[in-house]
Structure 1
Amino acid sequence: MNDAMTQDSSVRILFVDDEEYILNSLKRSFSQADYDILTADSGKMGLEILEKQPVDVVISDFKMPEMNGLQFLGQVREKHPHALRAFLSGYVDQLAVIKALTNGIATVYFPKPWDDTELKVSIDHILQIQKALKEKKLIELMDSASNLPTLPAMYQKFSQAISTGASLGQIANLVSEDAVVTARILQISNSAFFGRGQTASIEQAIMILGLDTVKNIILTIALAADLQIAPEKMQNFEKIIKHSSLVNKYFLLIYRMAFGRPVRPENTSLCITHDIGKIVLLQYFPERFQSMLDFQAKNPHLGFYQCESELGYGETAHTQIGGYLLDLWNLPKLAVEVAMLHHDANHKNHINRDTLKVVHLTNELINLLALNPEVKEIEESNLDKNLLQELKLKPDRIDFLIPNIKKDLIGL
């Protein structure tokens, strides 16, 4: 069985299922949608279709005779890595599904029976991500990295505890299960920046830092553990984490200066993950990461992102990689946008333009002072003055922060 419903749109979706009535139902569901719909009743036929024409999204049943959905989408990934892959199935083998999603064989799992509207919205969302992240080159790059990191289990447990209304004591007990995380949280809460005095209580430390900050500390530490960062890479890993923490610290200050109010509680740790794409490069593409550092050493006036552009990696820069990974982890869309667009304050597609402008300004300021420590006043630098005007920030207010930023940059 091979059926195509031609629409005006160039977006093409292939549904693969061994049940004809399922395929007929899907065709009816999408009869008014602006897609080209292809159907196949076996994995073999699905592969034959893919050999003849490009497809944007492949959605397959899980349990099929001869070639099951796992085998089929595995071959799709190998032979047609640009196509987004998903399961639509009533068969639930939780372990197999988790393995498929973890290994990147599929991006998402849709259960049967499905809701037409929800399925269409979800597919639209997948396609929007595909367009925003320049999918074909990016997915090919990400698919070449086996075993991309999943969202760390400790982070998931902590997030679930918050969402279910766990008490502070219960959350503290959860954190205390990991000695490394506990020590790091206590270290940060006792730092001079928070200025609340010394504490050995994890409960007090969580109160000082706030749940969102603790959650993102857990994310970075657990990610390092899960990735098993080699000792020779640890110095660069630590630099990325310290830079992200520094950007987050001054983002909170500059946001308040610009708008006269604090950042919304759920956004207080937005910048902690903004450079996570660099961590992916460091771990999975070390030669490319090192080539950036080598090029930057020869061109010390250029930042990492500028080096990527100069060397032709614009469409698969660390920003795109970071956005891809955070979206894969289903983190808030604003966190995804901050990762993707923190070097592009004027991008038309971002959700919260004001927030992103402050992130961009803060990141550029930190990078500027790291590359040009002799700068004492913003007026004598190449920092975007138009952006300062848009945020109604006078240069001398930013100048006030420069000595503290330079002090924080020591050793970075």
Structure 2
Amino acid sequence: MTKQIIIVDDERTVLRNFEKLLKKEPYKVTCFNKGHDALEYMANQNVDMIISDVAMPEMDGETLLATVKADHPKVIRVALSHLNENKRITRLIERGLATQYLFKPWNNYEMKLSIKNILEMNVYLMDEENLGKINNLEELPSLPSLYMELTDLLDKDADMDDVAELISRDQAITSKILKMVNSAFYGRKTGNIIQAMMTLGLNNVKNIVLTNSFFTTSSDSMDKLWQHTMDTNRLCLALYEKCLNKRMPSLFGSAGLLHDVGRVILYMFHNDDYNDLIKEAESTEYTLVNLELENFHTTHQDIGAYLLNSWGLPYAYVEAAMFHHRPMDERVINKELVSVVHLADYYATKVLSPDGTHNLLDQSVFDFLNVTREQVERVVESMK
């Protein structure tokens, strides 16, 4: 079935460029220069994706995408902006109104590939055969109530005192936030939850709340996995800063925390069997992914990507969960982020938590990121 995309932008030149760009692609493309017209059209059409400019008169992109989310939740929402509109993009992503963003002006090849990959990933995640495999895990968890309360507060632009009061109700999460911000990487020494949240950023606090909801029971396996996700996340931040010489995008500063969420789900539903697979991966040449596929007919990558996508988390997180063991897959849009997560996951297992599961290193990421293996390993060693 032909996918239908609608483009909304008040600049007619942008709309003409999109029409020309996608003219020979296998999509039905309809363009609007007003948000109200797009919503009226969507009321009677099956639309697969909306790409909306964020800065428009009358109805801006935030209002339009919020309405689409409420009335047409299955439609893929993509924000379109100029590079200097990062604050608006950040707000849209943090509020869950857009799961991906695209910039103008654009490279035609990259724009076509991005649209193709987003649509194809959505088809894959919604494929009945794949869903059947995942649904064998019984009922997957829904978003935790504390996360939804926190999201609601942030949507209302609540002040930091209100956010801190909410977080402080959960001592386990408060402890994890303080532990993270007092680590050597952040270089802070504070017992003040407000200062800690300001250091981490509220988007990262949200994702700590989300991740922590899975680690409600303590066991040797779950404790090791929590430590691995923490190590992976701080290593992601360090690799960006010390190897790529820039800060990790704040929107995706929790990619390391969320990349292995599928493994948590497998622990939850197949604890003993999954522990046996992990021991086999540690003692043989078989990778954990191959053993998962053989025994469960799905992998922690598929499960994690499906879950994060169903929760409406940013597309970059979905990609990091799906592709962190194969970062050069042609379907990956956020290749830099996924490549860094791949390296961090590998070295967090090999060096920072050496009793973790066996995985493989894709050597091509060094060339892609324009870093050497020696550079990366110096950073890793400095964090031991």
TM-score range, shorter chain: 0.5 to 0.7
2:338 matched to which residue of 1? 356
Q: TM-score, normalised by structure 2?
A: 0.65
1:190 counterpart (182, 186, 208): 182
2:299 matched to which residue of 1? 317
Whole-Å Cα distance in 1 between the matches of residues 185 and 337 of structure 2? 23
Aligned pairs for 1:87-98 (under 5 A) are none
Aligned pairs for 1:61-210 (under 5 A) are 115-117=43-45, 119-121=47-49, 128-129=120-121, 131-133=123-125, 135-197=127-189, 199-210=190-201
Kindly provide the CA deviation profile for residues 374-396 of structure 1, in whole angstroms up to 9, marking residues without a partner as x: xxxxxxxx844432122111233
CA 1:127–1:353: 2 relative to 1, 3 Å: closer
1:275 counterpart (239, 260, 263): 260
Residues 293, 304 of structure 1: 8 Å contact kept: yes
2:270 matched to which residue of 1? 285
The residue type equivalent to 1:362 in the other structure is A
Q: Is 1:261 the counterpart of 2:246 in the alignment?
A: yes
Bigger Cα displacement from structure 2, 255-264 vs 341-350:
255-264
CA 1:155–1:271: 2 relative to 1, 3 Å: same
CA 1:297–1:383: 2 relative to 1, 3 Å: closer
1:400 matched to which residue of 2? 378
Q: Is 1:218 the counterpart of 2:206 in the alignment?
A: no
Following superposition, the deviation at residue 10 of structure 1 comes to 10
Unmatched tracts of structure 1, length 5 or more = 1-8, 12-32, 36-111, 374-381, 408-412
Instruction: Specify the SS of the correspondent of 1:116.
Output: coil
CA 1:345–1:34: 2 relative to 1, 3 Å: closer
The residue type equivalent to 1:167 in the other structure is D
1:239 matched to which residue of 2? 224
Q: Is 1:337 the counterpart of 2:319 in the alignment?
A: yes
Q: Is 1:308 the counterpart of 2:292 in the alignment?
A: yes
CA 1:362–1:280: 2 relative to 1, 3 Å: same
Kindly provide the CA deviation profile for residues 120-162 of structure 1, in whole angstroms up to 9, marking residues without a partner as x: 4466759845642483443123322333210111111212222
Whole-Å Cα distance in 2 between the matches of residues 137 and 368 of structure 1? 34
Higher relative contact order (CA 8 A, sep 6+): 2
Following superposition, the deviation at residue 265 of structure 1 comes to 1.3
Q: Is 1:366 the counterpart of 2:348 in the alignment?
A: yes
Following superposition, the deviation at residue 291 of structure 1 comes to 3.4
Cα RMSD after superposing both structures: 3.3
Residues 152, 223 of structure 1: 8 Å contact kept: no
Residues 178, 193 of structure 2: 8 Å contact kept: yes
Whole-Å Cα distance in 1 between the matches of residues 134 and 271 of structure 2? 14
The residue type equivalent to 1:391 in the other structure is L
Following superposition, the deviation at residue 187 of structure 1 comes to 2.8
Whole-Å Cα distance in 2 between the matches of residues 328 and 335 of structure 1? 12
Kindly provide the CA deviation profile for residues 78-137 of structure 1, in whole angstroms up to 9, marking residues without a partner as x: xxxxxxxxxxxxxxxxxxxxxxxxxxxxxxxxxx99613464446675984564248344
Residues 178, 196 of structure 2: 8 Å contact kept: yes
Following superposition, the deviation at residue 354 of structure 1 comes to 1.8
Q: Is 1:250 the counterpart of 2:241 in the alignment?
A: no
Whole-Å Cα distance in 2 between the matches of residues 389 and 346 of structure 1? 11
The residue type equivalent to 2:341 in the other structure is V
Residues 231, 352 of structure 2: 8 Å contact kept: no
CA 1:184–1:294: 2 relative to 1, 3 Å: closer
CA 1:160–1:115: 2 relative to 1, 3 Å: same
CA 1:10–1:205: 2 relative to 1, 3 Å: closer
The residue type equivalent to 1:316 in the other structure is T
The residue type equivalent to 2:204 in the other structure is T
The residue type equivalent to 1:161 in the other structure is L
The residue type equivalent to 2:342 in the other structure is H
Residues 138, 321 of structure 1: 8 Å contact kept: no
Whole-Å Cα distance in 2 between the matches of residues 189 and 332 of structure 1? 23
Instruction: Specify the SS of the correspondent of 1:316.
Output: coil
Instruction: Specify the SS of the correspondent of 2:333.
Output: coil
Instruction: Specify the SS of the correspondent of 1:161.
Output: helix
Whole-Å Cα distance in 2 between the matches of residues 387 and 147 of structure 1? 36
Whole-Å Cα distance in 1 between the matches of residues 209 and 367 of structure 2? 36
Whole-Å Cα distance in 2 between the matches of residues 190 and 396 of structure 1? 28
Residues 345, 360 of structure 1: 8 Å contact kept: yes
Q: TM-score, normalised by structure 1?
A: 0.60
CA 1:312–1:187: 2 relative to 1, 3 Å: closer
Instruction: Specify the SS of the correspondent of 1:224.
Output: coil
Residues 348, 354 of structure 2: 8 Å contact kept: no
Q: Is 1:298 the counterpart of 2:287 in the alignment?
A: no
CA 1:383–1:295: 2 relative to 1, 3 Å: closer
